[in-house]
Amino acid sequence: MGPGPSNVNPRVLEAMSRPTIGHLDPEFVGMMDELKALLNFAFQTSNPLTIPVSGPGSAGMETCFVNLVEPGDTVVVCQNGVFGGRMRENAERCGASLVLVDDNWGAPVDPQKLEDALKAHPEAKIVAFVHAETSTGAQSDAATLVDLARAHDCLSIVDTVTSLGGTPVLVDEWGADAVYSGTQKCLSCIPGLSPLSFSERAVKAVQSRKTKVQSWFLDLNLVMGYWGSTTSKRTYHHTAPVNALYGLHEALSVLKEEGLEQAWTRHAANHRALKAGLEAMGLELLVREKHRLPQLNAVMVPDGVDEAAVRSRLLTDFNLEIGAGLGTLAGKVWRIGLMGYSCTPGNVLYCISALETVLGSLDAPIQRGAALAGAESHLAAHPPEHVIA
């Protein structure tokens, strides 16, 4: 129950155990087409270039930047946590002229700050931001930020690593241009693949570059030849991670069977039960309620508590993993994940009970005996409508 990877659905593990076949085998090529259609569903887009990159979410991030940014381009990066900082690093390594829009960690990206930056830099080509900031648990208003980018004739790059499958990701409705995610969060697949989707505007930008993409492996002009269309012959680019793609196909099938709205509802419902238990214990969450990610809960560490010792005890005594704070939040928060297959009422109650036991044994300033009752009371009043298969 950390910030990822989440527990992998047994159906995904079973799918990955199937015999490995060639990455240009007709049967595998047929599965690739199914996989693209499932990703279109997950991202809520009709973009033809919607594929999994053979690498983790960070590779998806780099794919977006190296394909869309050329040396000298002005790129506006919104930073409100660790992963906004990684976007900034990618832009700089591509030779961009960087404009940074900074917000407090735990707050969403401020649309007014972005608009001010775009007015001050009419030459800007790209706006990049994190929809779901994994380091803080804050969710930004993607629709508004993408609208601002479009209004100023910019392409948008959007990080949905922690949001895809857990909260609404609506690529076509937003009008987003380059969106990437990861498989190990709310999709409950193994780490190592990065779903992404490029709009037609973004594809045209890639195809009309004046300079070569600085990465051969991530050059979409080449990768598109492998993932291609159903009407053209696939061309060899790299040996795809066949069994991992079996797993992603199954994970996306599970998501489709559950339904996107039902998955979003499940994550929100279990988050509210976790929140009820934490608050009954006297703990506070970092992010204001209206900006909180249900699948990533940043919990403030009580005064005088060694947060690393608590995490160690949880892992040793309860076989339960929660995450530490990153960057400026190191030592100040725990990050509790409720993602995909791990997002269940049973896990909420187990986490609350274990955390209260450990904190109580350390004489932490908490309200003892109230947490489990608080979470159970919420679940009784708002029972989950369904569970995942």
pLDDT recorded at residue 382: 79
In a domain, 296, yes or no: yes
> At which of 207, 240, 257 does a domain end?
257
In a domain, 386, yes or no: no
- Are 241 and 291 part of one and the same domain? no
- Are 233 and 331 part of one and the same domain? no
State how many domains the chain has.
Answer: 2
pLDDT recorded at residue 385: 65
In a domain, 4, yes or no: no
> At which of 238, 257, 276 does a domain end?
257
- Are 48 and 122 part of one and the same domain? yes
- Are 311 and 366 part of one and the same domain? yes
- Are 200 and 292 part of one and the same domain? no
pLDDT recorded at residue 316: 98
Q: Mean of the per-residue pLDDT values for the chain?
A: 95
Spans of the chain, pLDDT less than 50? 230-231
pTM of the model: 0.95
- Are 92 and 233 part of one and the same domain? yes
pLDDT recorded at residue 24: 85
- Are 207 and 291 part of one and the same domain? no
In a domain, 45, yes or no: yes
The b-or-e profile of 200-237 (16+ CB within 10 A means b, else e) is eebbebbeeeeeebbbebbbbeebbebbbeeeeebeeb
pLDDT in tens, 8-26: 999 999 999 999 999 888 8
- Are 144 and 235 part of one and the same domain? yes
pLDDT recorded at residue 383: 73
In a domain, 387, yes or no: no
> At which of 228, 257, 286 does a domain end?
257
Q: What domain range is 76 assigned to?
A: 10-257
